[in-house]
Structure 1
Amino acid sequence: MPLSLAGPVHSELVIKKSRFIGCVQPMADRAGAQKVVADLWAQHPGARHVCWSLLAGGQSAAVDDGEPSGTAGRPMLDVLRHQDLEGVLATVVRYFGGVKLGAGGLVRAYTDTVAQALLQAEKVPIVRLATLRCRVPYALEGLLRRELEAAAATLMAVAHGEAVELCFSLREEDAAALRARLAESGQGRIEWLNAPEEIGSARGEHLG
């Protein structure tokens, strides 16, 4: 099961007088990652590089920011991949200490900075959610609400008209069983409607 992080974690290494300040944190998309990087430049105007990697499906990125190609962003991304992470941003701010590290030294420095932060990070499962929408007679609203509560579903919207329309989300793997239970208990009087786009994931829910 893919994992994300509960929150940001920092690390710092000093290698041959260069200072590497790392951070790993949950991040959904590239726009959010770029904002974090811009904020880091504002906080560290004297830094030589702010390298970063984002592992987030089609939004993934690996940026060397002026370091020799392939010595920073890609190694950082590989660390995230090897730990089965998803929706995670790794950043490393480098203050140059005057001593060149060479390609191999740079790869080790950026890899170790991210790996050290991840050692302290709390990893949490990514829970995939499905969004469902249905229409029921008023007489079945109470029954439906009880079933949703029992299934740990989240009620997102309710509209009262000629009938009651409800939109709710729950874990993908529980959706089929809930629909089967409702089909039986509702005796065919529950009408399923086209749901909004599925919610991709929700981080931070512990499954233990």
Structure 2
Amino acid sequence: MDNDSVATAYTTVDGDFAAELEIKRSRFITYLRRVDSEAAARALVAELRKKHFDARHHCSAFILGPDRTAMRSNDDGEPSGTAGIPMLDALAKRETAPGTTDLSDIAAVVVRYFGGILLGAGGLVRAYSESVSTALDAAPLLRRERLRILGVDADYAAAGRLENDLRAAGIQVLGTEYGPRLATLRVALNDQAPVLAAFADRLASLSAGASTATNLGTEWVDVR
């Protein structure tokens, strides 16, 4: 991804995930977590230091922000450049679609239990890179998109049917809020004029002209 552009979508890990590799008797346990701040990424490291208090290394890397403006790594006692940077490269260079490298809001921690056999600098680089890549191969991922949010008002009696009809048409409904007189459905749409115009036409048809949409701005939305 070009960091000079403004992202409208990116990919992240769907929650927490863990995977383990054994390489020349050393155990490499990789933890992936969706995070939204540097503090959250560091909290994962602290959590795993307590959980795996007897491990020799707790190496880490994380990427934050839709435009991936924050990237950090830490070797945690391994020779400089043999753990954190390979882990960060595995995250940053992961293709989530052909030609697309947009993984973000993700922290990776590799816990190493030393098995008594030295791997050498090259071996460590390969081991830490492979550990993160293998975990990513199996981890559940999801898309995040910046979408236009519309509020659609409806009578209480019509709200449930209208929500079902919109979902059946493939339109993402984030939820329904019930006010004193009307229910308001929060709808997320691709922020393009043809898409919004088509939605207005569909809404008029489904509600027989009884419901209108109000622009509520844009939000980042999980798209599963």
TM-score normalised over the length of structure 2: 0.67
Q: Judge conservation of contact 1:129–1:170 (CA < 8 Å) in 2.
A: no
Change (3 A) 1:18 1:152: closer
Whole-Å separation in 2 of the counterparts to 1:139 and 1:26: 37
Deviation string, structure 1 residues 113-156 (Cα, Å, up to 9, x no partner): 2223233x144441526352436475996585465334242224
Match of 1:32 among 40, 55, 79: 40
Equivalent runs, 1:56-205 vs 2, <5 Å: 56-57=64-65, 58-84=69-95, 85-97=103-115, 100-119=118-137, 121-128=138-145, 130=147, 132-134=149-151, 136=153, 138=155, 142=159, 145=163, 148-150=166-168, 151-161=171-181, 164=182, 166-172=184-190, 176=196, 177-182=198-203, 190=212, 192-195=214-217, 198=219, 200-202=220-222, 205=224
Structure 1 residue runs without a partner (length 5+): none
Query: Paired residues, what number?
Result: 198
Structure 2 residue runs without a partner (length 5+): 1-8, 96-102
Report the CA distance between 1:99 and its aligned residue: 5.2
RMSD of aligned residue pairs (Cα, Å) = 3.6
% identical aligned pairs: 31
Whole-Å separation in 2 of the counterparts to 1:156 and 1:189: 14
Q: Report which of the two has the higher share of strand.
A: 2
Whole-Å separation in 2 of the counterparts to 1:124 and 1:95: 27
Report the CA distance between 1:38 and its aligned residue: 1.3
Q: Judge conservation of contact 2:173–2:188 (CA < 8 Å) in 1.
A: yes
1:13 — aligned with what?
Answer: 22
